[in-house]
Amino acid sequence: MLKKFLFITLLILAFSSVSLITDYNITSVEAQSNIVVLRGDITRNMTLNAKTRYVLEGGVFVRSGATLKIKPGTQIFAGPRSFLVIDRGAKIIAKGKVNKPIVFTSAQDPGNRKRGDWGGVIINGFAPINNGDSNGEADGEGNTGKYGGRNADDNSGILRYVRIEFAGFPLTPTNELNGLALQGVGRGTEVDFVQITESGDDAIEFFGGTVNVKHLLLYGSMDDAFDWTGGWQGKAQFVLIQQDGAIEANNGIEADNNSENNDLTPRSNPTIHNMTIIGDASTKTGNSIGMLLRVGTGATIRNFIIQNYKDVAVRVKDQSTLNQLGTNLVLENGIIFDNKKGVFQFQNNDGSDAGDLSNMFNNIVVMDPQLTDSLNKTAPNFKPTTTSPALNTSLVAPTPANDTFFERVNFLGGIGPNDSDDWTKGWTSFRRN
C-alpha cells in the first residue's frame, strides 16, 4: 500500500495535468477504486494501465518529446467536449491485444452514450500536406495544433487493437472533430485493427500525410466514414464500413485534394485494396453516396464492394477530378449493388452531367455480392457467402508487386469468407449507446 501511495504521489508531482480522485460523477467508473483525470498538457513520458480508469477532461495534449503509452485492456472515458491530441514530435503507443483492446469511450453511463459525446483522437505529424504555409504546415481543426512538414517517414507511434466510441462533434458548421483525425501523419506510424463507432462527424479523416492503415471497422458514423483531403498519399487494406441513417449519414468515402486549388501537390492519391462499403438507403438527410470523389483527388481503389446507398454508388465531381481518370484516378475490380440512384455519376463543376465515362473503370460488375448479413445494424456480418461473386477470382485484382504492405487475397471486400479471415473477432463491439 505504501509503494502504491508513493507512486501516486510521484505521478501527481510529475504531471500537473493529472489528478487522482475517487468521486468523479460518472456512474460507470465510480465502482473502480482509482480514477485518474487527465487534463491540460502531458509533457513527460506517461503510461496508462488497465488497473486504473482514466477520464479525459477538456483538451488533453501530449506535447512534443513526450510518449503516451497505453497498456492492453486500458479504458479511457472522455468527458463532454474533451479530446486527445498527440502533437508533432510526440508519440502514442497504444498496443492493445485481440482479447484486451484499448477503448476510448464516452464518460456517460452505458445506455446514455451517443454520437458526439466527446471530440476523439487527433494525431499530428510532420509528413507532407498540400494545404500548408511556406513551411508546409497548417493549423488543425478546433485548435488542435500544427501539422505537416517534410518527413514522409515520420513516426507518431502505434494504434493497434483500439476502439474509439461516441466521439466526433462539430465546433462550427465547417470545423469539426472526428472519431480519429490523422493530420500530416507519416508512414512510420502504425494504424492497424482500429474500430470507430458512432462518430458524430467523420469516423476517420486524413489531412494529407503518408500514413498507411489496415483492418478498420467504421460503424455508424453520422457524416462520412472514410474521408481524406490535403494530399493524403497513404495506403489502406481491409476496411469495413456500415453507415446508419437513423439521424444522418453522408458518404462512405468523401475524397478531396484541395478545395482552393484542385491541382495542388502532393495530390491526394491513396491506394486502397479490399473495402466493403455498406450504406443505409433509408437515410433521411445527408448525401448518402458510396464514394464521392471530387476537387482533383486521385486514388487507386481495387477489390471493393458498394451496397445500399440512397444515392449513387460512385460520383466523380469537378473537371479537375475527371482529368485524373485513367491515370491518377483508377477504380477497378469491384461489385456494386442496390444503390437507389444508379452506379456511376460524372459531374462538371456546376453539377451538370459530364456524360458517360463508366468505360474508364475496369472489371466492375453490378450484382448482389451475397454477403452474410451486412445490413444488420446490431450484429452485422460482412463475410461473403459460399456462392458470393466476391469469391470469383477473375474479379480479384492482384496484390501490387514489390509492395510489402498489401496482403495477398482471393476475394473482394474488406473480409474473406472463412473463420480464419475474420479479423473482427474478439476485440470489436457493436454497442450502440
Q: How far apart are CA 234 and CA 211, in angstroms?
A: 5
The verdict on residue 198 lying in a domain is: yes
Q: How far apart are CA 433 and CA 431, in angstroms?
A: 6
What's the predicted TM-score (pTM) here?
A: 0.93
**Per-residue pLDDT at 2:** 34
Integer angstrom CA distances of residue 212 from 99, 190, 235, 348, 425: 24, 7, 5, 31, 22
Side-chain half-sphere CA neighbours of 58 within 13 A: 9
Looking at residue 125, which CATH number applies to its domain? 2.160.20
**Per-residue pLDDT at 18:** 61
The verdict on residue 66 lying in a domain is: yes
What is the distance of C-alpha 106 from the center of its chain?
A: 18
Task: Answer whether 129's CB lies under 8 Å from 97's CB.
Answer: no
Amino acid letter, residue 45: N
Quote the domain boundaries for residue 246. Answer: 40-421
The counts of H helices and E strands in the chain are 3, 31
**Per-residue pLDDT at 4:** 43
Total count of domains within the chain: 1
Of 20, 70, 62, 58, nearest in space to 44 by CA? 62
Amino acid letter, residue 171: L
The verdict on residue 21 lying in a domain is: no
SS3 103: strand
The verdict on residue 35 lying in a domain is: no
The verdict on residue 312 lying in a domain is: yes
Q: Write out the chain's pLDDT in tens, 433 residues.
A: 434 433 333 344 334 456 544 334 444 444 455 899 999 999 999 999 999 999 999 999 999 999 999 999 999 999 999 999 999 999 999 999 999 999 999 999 999 999 999 999 999 999 999 999 999 999 998 889 999 999 999 999 999 999 999 999 877 767 789 999 999 999 999 999 999 999 999 999 999 999 999 999 999 998 999 999 999 999 999 999 999 876 678 899 999 999 999 999 999 999 999 999 999 988 776 678 999 999 999 999 999 999 999 999 999 999 999 999 999 999 999 999 999 999 999 999 999 999 999 999 999 999 999 999 999 999 999 999 999 999 999 999 999 889 999 999 999 999 999 999 999 999 999 988 8
The verdict on residue 9 lying in a domain is: no
Amino acid letter, residue 200: G
Task: Answer whether 167's CB lies under 8 Å from 119's CB.
Answer: yes
Of 247, 159, 216, nearest in space to 433 by CA? 247
The verdict on residue 144 lying in a domain is: yes
The verdict on residue 19 lying in a domain is: no
